[in-house]
Structure 1
Amino acid sequence: MSNPLTDGPEREGYELTRLASADNFRDVAGPGYPTYDGGRLRTGVLFRSNELQLSDTDAGSLAGLGIRDVLDLRDHQEVEAHPDVPVPGATWTHVRVPGIPMDDVATLTSREAGLATMKRVYRIFVEDDGARGAFGELLTRLAHAEHPQLFHCTAGKDRTGWASALLLRVAGVPEATVMEDYLLTNRFDGTRSKYLSMVREHLGEDKVAVYETVMVADAAYLAEGDAAVAEHFGDITGYLRDGLDLGDDVLTGLRRRLLA
């Protein structure tokens, strides 16, 4: 299987910053993903991550990338339980998006129930007024800044994954690459392995497959969000404009920042 972060001659000279304490930190642009029209994305501008439980070394690495905004998509309880370690020189802003309902997770009894829960989460991104407002705020903040920014949630796969997919689509990245980038989360499995080990220890081996459904990126989840977009807004453009209330200034600003 190819690795869209490292494979191919166009990746020469690209150096991915990796963080030991935030294993799903990466550049939204990948190594400079190609676009439909032969262009390429600009690296070093927008970054994505899981929660920032950072070592001093990794916090310094983020500061060294010039990141001046940290946009936290987590719910209030998640922020309170695991507040971000500050990034020197960066301003922290809370842009709350509803995540996986913890009551649903606590009562999971089957893999099918886990899959259904995750599909509901992606429908929330499209159908919930608060979620749409938050994604609209996020993309507006990203469009109007002039410095590197980072956005994240807890695992960096669902709220962050959906936002990243939107950005890649705005920039004109082919759908195959959008999906490859979304699924790339599953290669950075340190956090997932840690939590599944806890499930195995406390709940038993038979529960690992059940709880794995809420800890991975799955093509079916992104497809569920896309299906909800088609139902309610016709296509991604309709979702961005009518669902997230984004005008030409924001969409143009995002392309200006994303495209090399």
Structure 2
Amino acid sequence: MDDVTTDEQAPLRELARLASADNFRDVAGPGDGYPTVAGRRVRRGVFFRSNELQLTDADAATLAGLGITTIHDLRGALEVEAHPDVAVPGATWVHVEVSGIPMEMVSGLADVDAALRVMREVYVAFVRSPEARASYARLLTDLATAPLPQLFHCTAGKDRTGWAAALLLELAGVDRETILADYLLTNDVSSATREKYLALIAEHLGADEVAVYEPTMVVEPGYLDAAYAAVAEDFGSVDGYLRSGLGLADDVLAELRARLLA
């Protein structure tokens, strides 16, 4: 395992926000890292999550200074083509596509209920889509085997990225309430980006459409609950999903836990 010593972690406890990627954060959480139910802590400075990396030079240098070795991009090919990541010195870019919110479904939203339904369907697909399971299996295997630290992201850093982060915290043994609270942090840290896009919707589609589209730009407990419900129905537990759904071997799961736990 690529260990991270206490001295190396110290500067990361007060990790600066990135001006050009507002949902960038440490998977381990703030301070000394989230506590686990077994009385340990999630190790900081190991795995990072973010929205798309449209980085300023200063922010790219910040990521390079953290020693990021690998950037896992979960976006689709069209998303990558439209907004390619800025290169981070010393980091290898890896494309691990997971389908996000289908644009054809979003463009035709009739009302808020339709938007909420689409979002729940997206999260169920993370669990039930063979393609999504293959991509999450590849991501978690790479996180367990490639040199540390590593970063993964999608476009907004909230759905595809949020599910990956939740799985890591589950593996670490963090309680479900804390995992949900961490998931919901996106709504706070990305509020400026969300307001920008909602303003564009108001400008181009009309103010009445803002409420219809807002559910696609936030995270809600019901979205994550939909994924967990599909996990329980199809695989019995998160452990069953990781083992049977993603096909992760014992050694991969053990290495992930070893990397995650301080």
Q: What range describes the TM-score normalised by the shorter chain of this pair?
A: over 0.9
Deviation at residue 150 of structure 1 after TM alignment: 0.3
One of 186, 206, 211 as aligned partner of 2:213: 211
> For residues 215 and 244 of structure 2, what CA distance do their matches in structure 1 show?
31
Report the Cα distance in structure 1 between the residues aligned to 2:252 and 2:221, rounded to whole angstroms. 28
Partner of 2:16: 17
| Residue identity in the other structure for 1:17 | A
In structure 2, C-alpha distance between the alignment counterparts of 1:17 and 1:96, rounded to whole Å? 28
| Map of 1:193 onto structure 2 | 195
Matches within 5 A, 1:52-201: 52-188=53-189, 189-201=191-203
1:47 has 2:52 as partner = no
TM-score, with normalisation over the residues of structure 2? Answer: 0.93
Q: How far has the Cα of 1:146 moved from its partner? A: 2.9
Q: Tell me the amino acid that sits aligned with residue 85 of structure 2.
A: D
Structure 1 range deviating more: 155-164 or 137-146 = 137-146
- TM (norm. structure 1) is 0.94
Question: Does the CA contact (< 8 Å) of 2:27 and 2:49 recur in 1?
Answer: yes
Superposed CA RMSD: 1.3
Q: Is the 8 A contact 2:52 2:155 kept in 1?
A: yes
Out of 227, 231, 234, the position equivalent to 1:232 is 234
- Structure 1: any 5+ residue segments left out of the alignment? 1-10
What is the one-letter code of the residue matched to 2:248? L
CA separation in 1, counterparts of 2:75 and 2:167?
18
**How many angstroms does 1:224 deviate by?**
0.3
Equivalenced residue count is 250
| Cα distance in 2 between the residues matched to 1:190 and 1:68 | 29
Q: Which whole-Å deviations, capped at 9, do the CAs of 1:173-205 have from their partners, x for residues lacking one?
A: 011100000000000212111110101111111
| Inter-partner Cα distance in structure 2 for 1:115 and 1:19 | 30
Match of 1:221 among 210, 217, 223: 223
- Partner deviation per Cα, 1:74-110 (whole Å, 9 max, x = no partner): 0111001100000111000000001100000110110
Q: Distance in 2 between matches of 1:194 and 1:149?
A: 29
Find the residue that maps to 2:13 and give its secondary structure: coil
Alignment-mate amino acid for residue 231 of structure 2: V
Q: Verify the 8 A CA contact 2:98 2:131 in the aligned structure 1.
A: yes
State the distance in 2 between where 1:88 and 1:190 align. 27
For residues 70 and 193 of structure 2, the distance between their equivalents in structure 1, rounded to whole angstroms, comes to 24
Using the TM superposition, give the Cα deviation of residue 24 of structure 1 relative to its aligned residue in structure 2, in angstroms.
0.2
Q: CA separation in 1, counterparts of 2:37 and 2:50? A: 26
Partner of 2:252: 250
- For the residue of structure 1 that corresponds to 2:40, the secondary structure is coil
Q: Which amino acid aligns with 2:167?
A: L
| Structure 1 SS opposite 2:217 | coil
Query: Does the Cα contact within 8 Å between 2:72 and 2:95 map onto a contact in 1?
Result: yes
SS of structure 2 residue aligned to 1:125: helix
Q: Distance in 1 between matches of 2:99 and 2:13?
A: 34
Counterpart Cα distance in 2 of 1:147 and 1:116:
37
2:199 partner SS: helix
